[in-house]
Structure 1
Amino acid sequence: MLTIRNFTKSYKGGKKAVDDLSLVVEPGDIYGFIGHNGAGKTTTLRAVVGVLDFEQGDIEIGGISIRKDPVACKAQMAYIPDNPDLYDHLTGIQYLNFIGDLFGVTKADRERLIQKYSDAFQLTPHLGDMISSYSHGMKQKLAIISALIHEPKLFVLDEPFVGLDPKAAHTLKTIMAEVCSRGGAIFFSTHVLDTAEKLCNKIAIIKGGRLMAHGKTGEVRGENSLEDVFMELIDND
């Protein structure tokens, strides 16, 4: 589903934000990507979705290189950044229809999926309102719904639970599990270690741009909590 192979990204001055990162996200995976601020999580996610160019390595979505055919890759996935930048001059339903048009979602499928997910996130009464009137949490919900309505194979999420109320966070976790049960995959960054430990079947921990540990959650955690493992890896050079 997603293969990151020897990915390296440097910024001005030659500092490597990510250094020789390799990992694989398979169908059915809920893959948590964990690290402190500045560890390279967002840089990696932005490269995966084709927003950020990179110097070395390759990233493939469904066997297609993001560098060689970014449009084909983007057609297979959805990306939700940590602070969604939506079109404030549109209403919620106009934005969802815009996304549906971009991805060629049929009218019947669009109506069914918008109804399903906007009801799940309790956003249906607000779809006729201007996005400029939305709270941060409402914008986050709208961005999540827009990602779901074209039913991508891969979801790439940057801190998806930030700004969500407890009920919406629970709804998102349930939907993530449903997506993966149908053969989709989710690759997401998070600071919420307890959520990652309970939700993810695989975990990767990054520090200073380098992969410190990765694999099945139980194997990475061992006999300890994920928080204990994370702190030990982060504290020790």
Structure 2
Amino acid sequence: MVLNIIEINNLYKRYGNTIALNGINLSIAGGQIYGILGPNGSGKTTLLKIIAGILPASSGDIMVDEISVSRNADNIKSMIGYIPETPALYESLTPIEYFNFLASVFKIDDNILRDRVNAFSNALEIGKYLDEFIGSLSFGTKQKVAIIGSLIHDPKIIVMDEGMNGLDPKSSKIIKELLKDMTKKGKTVIFSTHIMEIAENVCDTISILYNGNIAGTGNLDQLKNEAGSSNNDLEGIFLKLTGDEDLDNLLDSLRESIKSTTPP
């Protein structure tokens, strides 16, 4: 029997009068890639940051491997590798200095660190940038550094919030295959993306967030049944569950607007 690695119980997050998460309840089984999808402002980033122990909940709690995030945020952070949409790095350091810093925090053996840095930097083709200041690197290269930094301590759970943003196709493919390999070894990946094709091809289970609520959960067939949709693709199911399936009127209005502003 597959055990749930994460239990989310009646989770709320409020920003003033705005409710970002409205009583979320989810059970995430270990050893899978679990997708969190939703339109902008649906609460995806907020949820992932709370899971990773970066942001406190307003009420409710999350249990990660039977440990309360609200009461043990520091312990949770050692179990999780968090990869944000926009890398937040020490830009005055070089990548190798950054990795050495993380190794000291997570108490990684020097030989293991060297092997992991070599393997990652070769695979993602950043070896020539290891001694450059992070602040001088391109966005895509910074994202590769952030990914390596998040995986270097071999975390049990990987949380990716649009974490492949800015990657070239080869690096994106390598990371997707690596994540699949990790789940085969019992690790769990929680994955947020706006790209439906990636979610459809990579995720084992998907939850769709809409206005801070769970609009649907399951694999593609289960979501299709839940949506009562005739669509066989995730994009169509997503639009059905988030109430945005009828785009024809919007597109017709847009076409008319463009037509009316086009000079004769």
Larger radius of gyration: 2
Aligned to 1:43: 46
Match of 1:224 among 228, 232, 254: 232
**How do residues 73-152 of structure 1 correspond to structure 2 at under 5 angstroms?**
73-152=76-155
| Count of matched residue pairs | 236
Measured in 2, the distance between the counterparts of 1:5 and 1:115 equals: 40
Over residues 25-44 of structure 1, what are the superposed CA-to-partner deviations in whole Å (9 max), with x where a residue is unaligned? 22211011000000000111
The one-letter amino acid of 1:75's match is S
Aligned pair 1:174/2:177, yes or no? yes
Over residues 159-185 of structure 1, what are the superposed CA-to-partner deviations in whole Å (9 max), with x where a residue is unaligned? 012111111111110111111111000
The one-letter amino acid of 1:150's match is H
Aligned pair 1:8/2:12, yes or no? yes
> 1:55 offset after TM fit, Å?
2.0
> 1:71 offset after TM fit, Å?
1.3
Measured in 2, the distance between the counterparts of 1:217 and 1:143 equals: 30
Mapped contact 1:140–1:164 kept (Cα < 8 A): yes
Over residues 64-114 of structure 1, what are the superposed CA-to-partner deviations in whole Å (9 max), with x where a residue is unaligned? 001111111111111111111101111110001111111111111111111
TM-score, normalised via structure 2 length: 0.86
SS at match of 1:102: helix
Aligned pair 1:213/2:216, yes or no? yes
TM-score, normalised via structure 1 length: 0.96
Measured in 1, the distance between the counterparts of 2:212 and 2:91 equals: 34
Which sections of structure 2, spanning at least 5 residues, go unmatched?
A: 226-230, 246-264
Measured in 1, the distance between the counterparts of 2:205 and 2:123 equals: 26
Once structures 1 and 2 are overlaid, which stretch shifts more, 180-189 or 215-224? Answer: 215-224
Q: Which has the higher contact order (CA 8 A, sep 6+)?
A: 1
SS at match of 2:242: helix
Which sections of structure 1, spanning at least 5 residues, go unmatched?
A: none
Identity %: 35
> 1:236 offset after TM fit, Å?
5.7
Measured in 1, the distance between the counterparts of 2:71 and 2:190 equals: 21
Match of 2:160 among 157, 161, 164: 157
The one-letter amino acid of 1:200's match is C
Aligned to 1:27: 30
Aligned to 2:189: 186
SS at match of 1:75: helix
SS at match of 1:53: coil
**How do residues 46-85 of structure 1 correspond to structure 2 at under 5 angstroms?**
46-85=49-88
The one-letter amino acid of 2:134's match is I
Measured in 2, the distance between the counterparts of 1:88 and 1:54 equals: 29
Aligned to 2:250: none
The one-letter amino acid of 2:126's match is L
CA RMSD of aligned residues (A): 1.4
Measured in 2, the distance between the counterparts of 1:125 and 1:61 equals: 37
> 1:3 offset after TM fit, Å?
1.7
